[in-house]
Amino acid sequence: MTSAQPLCHADEIAEGEARGFGPLEGYRRKIVVLRHNGTLHAWLDACPHYPGGTPMAWKTDAYLNGEKTHIACHSHGALFDMETGECVLGPCLGQQLTRIALTMSDEGEIFVTAAQEEKRA
């Protein structure tokens, strides 16, 4: 229904970095985009520990743990695999972050399609 919404240029997210975008139309929370082993991954900024999912950063764009090896929820320190979104330590052990599909233009701009997240519910 809604057209693709631009986030940024792919080059703006360096290896081992994460950034939050939004909230964008059709999404109840921000979208976290990170680059790990060269590949971009996007996750909904919603920790599965508490119902409804709660925001994970401790400060703007501060989504990773101290060692920068995992996405961390800075509510109770849950750690998530950057590539699979699975919680490997913490209160939501074994649960998953919600993956958001990214598209990239020929020029390298990255986009998300709105309302995709609603389908999950």
Kindly list the residues in this chain that would bind other proteins in the complex (CB under 8 A): 54-60, 62, 65-67, 73-79, 89-91, 93
| Residue 43: strand, helix, or coil | strand
Q: How far is the CB of 53 from other proteins (least distance, A)?
A: 12
Q: Which is closer to other proteins, CB of 10 or CB of 91? A: 91
Residues in the chain, overall count: 121
Calpha distance 38→116 (Å, rounded): 25
Q: Which is closer to other proteins, CB of 23 or CB of 108? A: 23
Q: Which is closer to other proteins, CB of 59 or CB of 119? A: 59
CA 109 to the chain's CA centroid: 17
Q: How far is the CB of 79 from other proteins (least distance, A)?
A: 6
The 10 Å Cβ neighbour count of residue 56 is 27
Calpha distance 31→103 (Å, rounded): 14
Binding footprint of ligand FES on the chain (CB under 6 A)? 47, 49-50, 54, 73, 75-76, 78, 90-92
Calpha distance 6→64 (Å, rounded): 23
Q: How far is the CB of 78 from ligand FES (least distance, A)?
A: 4
Q: How far is the CB of 10 from ligand FES (least distance, A)?
A: 28
